[in-house]
Amino acid sequence: MAEGSNLTRAGMRRGPLMLAIMAVALAAWLWRRGGTPPLGEIAWWCAFLATTLIRIPHAKKAAAIPTRASHVDRQEAWLMLLVTAGMMLLPFLQLATPLLDVFTIALPRAATSAGIALLVPGLWLFWRSHADLARNWSPTLELRQGHRLVDTGLYAHIRHPMYAAIWLIVIAQPLLLHNLVAGLGAPLAFAAMYALRVPREEAMMDRHFGELYAAYARRTGRIWPRFTR
């Protein structure tokens, strides 16, 4: 299992293809919407590009660090696919093609504003959690060689700041996109991932770090910060 990371590397290999799809979707969206794209859609693209830019350097570094133990199975692979569909492929379909137009919903401008307001802490948390986790980050259930238990920065108070960030971003999605399918796909897909992955991730950390992790879990909150000494 020790050979250099597998899923992270596979992700890196798919990287150029993903970037190409992204560029085509962006160009098609600009072309479709002409000079006046809706504010919510602009905000969605800004957030999407920001999360991509935050993640790329971490994904590049992570691909170079060998994996010590991988717990990626069929369930985990399906969850990753589901979340990619909800957070990327459905929005691309809505924005770049007319296929999801029938699912458009009329939302007040306040909804768009609320979505943008959620993105601000969401993106900040996303950026900080990647910085705090540094070389210990992986996109899936893996432990790196020389994996360290991070309990500083955001991780001093919450065990899953990156998932907290993703919650904020996926809840913002329907408020920004005003489309039932492309909007709700993300929170539904992420809800499934969160519910199924978090217990497994914590069990993996618990097996690996033992009492160190158990004590860490007692003094932190899952996605709601706990401020104890």
Residues in the site for ligand SAH, rule: CB under 6 A? 129, 133, 136-138, 141-143, 149-150, 155, 160-163, 201, 205
In angstroms, what is the minimal distance from the CB of 102 to ligand SAH? 35
Give whichever of 172 and 205 is closer to ligand SAH, judged by the CB atom.
205
Give whichever of 41 and 76 is closer to ligand SAH, judged by the CB atom.
76
Structural tokens at position 84:
């990619």
For residues 71 and 143, what is the distance between their CA atoms, to the nearest angstrom? 9
Q: Can you give the three-state secondary structure of 127-184, one letter per residue?
A: HHHHHHHHHHCCCCCEEECCCCCCCCHHHHCECCHHHHHHHHHHHHHHHHHCEHHHHH
In angstroms, what is the minimal distance from the CB of 1 to ligand SAH? 13
In angstroms, what is the minimal distance from the CB of 188 to ligand SAH? 19
For residues 22 and 172, what is the distance between their CA atoms, to the nearest angstrom? 20
Give whichever of 25 and 88 is closer to ligand SAH, judged by the CB atom.
88
Give whichever of 112 and 138 is closer to ligand SAH, judged by the CB atom.
138
For residues 166 and 161, what is the distance between their CA atoms, to the nearest angstrom? 9
In angstroms, what is the minimal distance from the CB of 162 to ligand SAH? 3
For residues 94 and 108, what is the distance between their CA atoms, to the nearest angstrom? 19
